[in-house]
Chains A and B, each alone.
Chain A
Amino acid sequence: MKMKAVIPLLVFIVLVILLGYGLTRDPKEIPSPLIGKPVPVFKLAKVLKPNENISNLNFVGQVSILNVWASWCASCRVEHPIIVEFAKKHPLNIYGFNYKDQRSDAIRWLKYYGDPYIASAYDVTGSAGIDWGVYGVPETFIIDKKGIIRYKKVGPMTKEFMENTLLPLLKKLENES
């Protein structure tokens, strides 16, 4: 009979644990189906050099990062200086992906806030963005030597994230054959 009185309490505790766990999760973070898949096929002009292209072929052969940004994106403004700082300290193989922006605005942004990228792809229509599954700028993809997407971060990267998650992952991927 005593056991019975405990059951509602147990159910309640389990419920609290489950709901508590639910609260720690970010509903904005949709797991990317692209993880473990090769970089989607695309070819876009560069922001600063419209005559040159960036394509999926740029992501084969070395570990690289693709950072999706836009001049209209408020959280990019928070993230950008952190990337700039970080790129000064660590040699990053980082590409930009300028999403649904005006070229003039994008160029002004890079001149004003600094350009940590090897180059930025210019996706004015956002159609390549759809192929990458971009839905909330900023987003960051980490790609291994074979051109396989291994990690995706939605939302601005923080210094902690870059030091505690990004760097170890880059090192790990670097050591893969």
Chain B
Amino acid sequence: MKKSRICLTGLLFILLSSNCLAAMNLYHFEDETKKARFKTLIHELRCTVCQNQTIADSNADLAKDLRDKVYKMIQDGKTDEEIKDFMVSRFTDFVLYNPPLKPGTYVLWLGPGILLIIAIFFLYRNIRRKELEQQNDFDESQKQRIANLLTENTTDEKSKGLDK
């Protein structure tokens, strides 16, 4: 019973993973570069119905239509840019898995970097302050003792050096 269930799950995974391959096999290209371009494009375009899948992965009807459209446009000699523009003009930048850098997406692209810089700034300031606090933790007599100990140490080392 258990075994058959595992088998079924495995089978399901195999079937699901082959979707993408099956999608590729439906299209015939006369040369390899077009095929490669098609493959990259369908992996870069988002299926607008099932929003977390590319049109390569999705089984949705619309994804199939969009794959057909990409295929047709490649066969018609359209460039990658033209194909992406076509999609963007109908479905906005949302269809691109790689959104372009422009005023609307500055926060998206630059936000993490800016946050990192702010974090580093505060981290640096905190470490620096802790260091200063430690230095200032000693009162005058303690400081004197430290100074004495340090000079003692150096004279010790010097004398050791002389011994050798």
* Chain A interface (Cβ < 8 Å from any Cβ of B): 27-28, 30-34, 100, 125-127, 129-133, 135-136
Tell me the complex Cα distance, A127–B49, Å. Answer: 16
Residues of A within 8 A of B94 (CB): 30
State whether A127 touches B65 (Cβ < 8 A). Answer: yes
- Indicate which residue in B62, B65, B88 contacts A33 across the interface (CB closer than 8 Å): B88
Residues of A within 8 A of B61 (CB): 100, 126
The minimal Cβ–Cβ distance linking A146 to chain B, given in whole angstroms, is 20
**Interface contact tally, CB-CB below 8 A:** 36
Size of B's binding interface in residues, CB under 8 A = 14
The minimal Cβ–Cβ distance linking A15 to chain B, given in whole angstroms, is 13
Residues of B within 8 A of A132 (CB): 90
Interface residues of B, dominant DSSP: helix
Residues of B within 8 A of A31 (CB): 92
Residues of A within 8 A of B69 (CB): 127, 130
Tell me the complex Cα distance, A84–B89, Å. Answer: 32
Tell me the complex Cα distance, A103–B44, Å. Answer: 34
The minimal Cβ–Cβ distance linking A20 to chain B, given in whole angstroms, is 18
* Chain A to chain B contacts (Cβ below 8 Å), 29 pairs: A27-B51, A28-B51, A30-B48, A30-B91, A30-B92, A30-B94, A31-B92, A32-B92, A33-B88, A33-B89, A33-B91, A33-B92, A34-B90, A100-B61, A125-B65, A126-B61, A126-B65, A127-B69, A130-B65, A130-B66, A130-B69, A130-B90, A132-B90, A133-B90, A135-B48, A135-B49, A135-B91, A136-B48, A136-B49
Tell me the complex Cα distance, A132–B48, Å. Answer: 13
Within 8 A of A (CB), among B26-54: 48-49, 51
